[in-house]
Amino acid sequence: MRTVKLQFQTSADGYISGPGGEMDWMTMPWSADMEDHVGGLWKDVDTIVLGRKLAETFIPAWESRPEGETDETVDQMVNTPKVVFSRTLKESPWDNATIAAGSLAETMAGLKAAEGGDIMVSGGGTLAQQLIAEGLIDEIHLFANPVSLGGGLPVFPTGARHEFTLARSHAFECGVAGLTYLPRKS
């Protein structure tokens, strides 16, 4: 069975974007040890899951081959098949992406049961919260940046308790703390 991973940069107080949607607080550039760690997370990934709003910026950004990224990273982001959850799109406007409009649980169960490598959920925030709430994530990889935002879009859904086991933690040279959580199964 394939592993569903979620990876997010967060603030120290658990937000993935600020009160106005800002993301200028992320530590950049990453240190070599963090780049190596993230590269290891993506090593066995052969499917990327996105929400529509994020896909609208994520896919074109990688297809533009952004400066400062290695050819290997850009090729992986562009060439890896993507599944985009959308209630509004009927067909994909992007190459190498399919639209998933059905049940979140059924679609993710189908992806997990299919042959292949790991599945990386890259966001957006609403989709990630739904996946966490429904217990559809196997590993949560958070990269806590040394900044407090005081509000914004939280990583975790509000209004419900979710318990995790800390599997690994690492302090990267750039000041970011890597935290890997495994959801506790009831």
Give residue 102's pLDDT: 83
Q: What's the mean pLDDT in 122-127?
A: 90
Given a contact cutoff of 8 angstroms between Cβ atoms, the answer to whether 1 and 32 are in contact is: no
- The larger pLDDT score, comparing residue 70 to residue 111, is at 111
Residues 6+ apart with CB under 8 A from 162: 132, 133, 156, 183
Please write the tens of the pLDDT for every residue from 133-148: 999 999 999 999 999 9
* pTM (global) more than 0.85: yes
For the chain, give every domain's residue range. Answer: 29-177
Distance CA 180, CA 166 (A): 6
Distance CA 127, CA 121 (A): 9
Ranges assigned E (strand) in the chain: 4-11, 15-17, 45-51, 82-85, 97-100, 118-123, 139-145, 153-154, 164-171, 177-183
13: left (phi over 0), alpha (psi -120 to 50) or beta: alpha
Residue 121, pLDDT above cutoff 90: yes
Given a contact cutoff of 8 angstroms between Cβ atoms, the answer to whether 31 and 145 are in contact is: no
Please write the tens of the pLDDT for every residue from 4-55: 999 999 999 999 999 999 999 998 889 999 999 999 999 999 999 999 999 9
Distance CA 37, CA 165 (A): 20
Fold annotation for 29-177: Dihydrofolate Reductase, subunit A (3.40.430)
Give residue 186's pLDDT: 64
Give residue 160's pLDDT: 86
Please write the tens of the pLDDT for every residue from 50-102: 999 999 999 999 999 998 888 999 999 999 999 999 999 999 999 899 999 88
Structure tokens at 5: 């991973």
Give residue 179's pLDDT: 98
Residue 123: pLDDT band (50, 70, 90) is confident
Distance CA 65, CA 16 (A): 24
Helix (H) or strand (E) holding 79: helix 71-79
